[in-house]
Amino acid sequence: MPFTTPARTALDIACRYSVSKAVAAIDSLTRATDLKIADVDLLAERYKGRRGIRRARSALSLVDGGAESPRETWLRLLLIRAGFPPPRTQIPVYDEYGQLVAVLDMGWEYLKLGVEYDGDHHRTDRRQFNKDIRRAGALTELGWIDVRVTVEDTEGGVIARVSAAWDRRTCSEGGTSSKFPP
């Protein structure tokens, strides 16, 4: 039976699809397998003249196996396209006793600024909804700004909210506002 390796699958996806679709698919593949982007880069080097290889290189540079859903990938890519530094994914946040309070989808630890994509289950699952309320309070007490995004948010609205949070955090840290997007 014919089969392919995760690296070859990732290269094929990256060459055939738009950058955003490819990144979302390869993020998932990376999370589900032992895929190493370095292995895909080696394959890309071997097939320098392949159709779509430039697009593939762009997509591969944006892959992050920390994304837990295609919408998290969408959100991360939106922030990067808007000029923000690439956020770190799956950030653990601990309280003063060393207890895990939350794992944020993405953000910038040095600013204590998190950005999360809340799927529909955050609204429809009563238990998750109540957990989210307690979690939001705990994050605020620990000094984090947590920007929560849903399917109803527009790209411009997300960028505006993250920019405002970024400015609040950088100004309150004694620095000057570093406007994002630039």
Phi-psi region of 90 (alpha: psi -120 to 50; beta: other; left: phi over 0): left
Residue 12 CA: distances (Å) to CA of 38, 45, 62, 71? 15, 13, 16, 22
Q: Report the pLDDT value the prediction gives residue 131, as an integer from 0 to 100.
A: 81
- pLDDT at position 176, please? 47
What is residue 182's predicted lDDT score, i.e. its pLDDT?
Answer: 46
Is residue 164 assigned to a domain?
yes
Of 36, 62, 88, the domain-final residue? 62
97: its two tokens: 């006793």
Domain hosting 58: range is 6-62
Residues of the chain with pLDDT under 70: 1-2, 120-125, 172-182
Q: Is 21 exposed, middle or buried (0-12, 13-18, 19+ CB in 10 A)?
A: middle
- Verify that 53 and 105 share a domain, yes or no: no
Q: How far is 13 from 46, CA to CA, in rounded Å?
A: 16
Which stretches of the chain are assigned E, i.e. beta strand?
88-94, 100-108, 113-117, 145-149
Residue-wise pLDDT tens digits, 115-133: 999 875 556 667 777 787 8
Would residue 96 count as lying in a domain? yes
Tell me: do 81 and 117 sit in the same domain.
yes
